[in-house]
Amino acid sequence: MDGQHSPTITSFVLRFIVEEPDDAANVPALCRGVIQHVQRDETLNFSDWQDAVEFIRQYVPIDTDAKRGKPCLKGVQPCE
């Protein structure tokens, strides 16, 4: 190869589950999810989005942009 690198591909399957309460209950819907790392077939059940982000961080070098509080890829997007 002439100095070119093959891209690293990391794939996830993400499922959101929304449990609608009875109309009479007058409570918000419960949200949870399942995330699967495709290449390793590892799965995490989560009810807090931050747990899913931590799971992804095991495979993808993401950080949080301090100014905007949004995820960014280390070495790909500028993280401020």
User: Per-residue pLDDT tens for 12-35?
Assistant: 999 999 988 877 777 788 899 999
Task: Let me know if residue 46 belongs to a domain.
Answer: yes
Task: Let me know if residue 51 belongs to a domain.
Answer: yes
Task: Let me know if residue 44 belongs to a domain.
Answer: yes
30-67 per-position pLDDT tens digit? 899 999 999 999 999 999 999 998 999 899 887 765 55
pTM (2 d.p.): 0.67
Query: What pLDDT shows up at residue 28?
Result: 81
Task: Let me know if residue 6 belongs to a domain.
Answer: no
Count of domains in the chain? Answer: 1
- Domain carrying residue 50: 12-21+29-73
Task: Let me know if residue 79 belongs to a domain.
Answer: no
Task: Let me know if residue 16 belongs to a domain.
Answer: yes
Distance CA 80, CA 73 (A): 11
On the question of pLDDT at 6 being above 70, the answer is yes
**Encoded tokens for 19:** 């449990």
Contacts of 59 (CB under 8 A, 6+ apart): 10, 37, 40
Task: Let me know if residue 5 belongs to a domain.
Answer: no
Q: Any bridge partners for residue 28, and if so which?
A: none
Task: Let me know if residue 3 belongs to a domain.
Answer: no
Q: Tell me if 14 sits within 8 A of 35, measured CB to CB.
A: yes
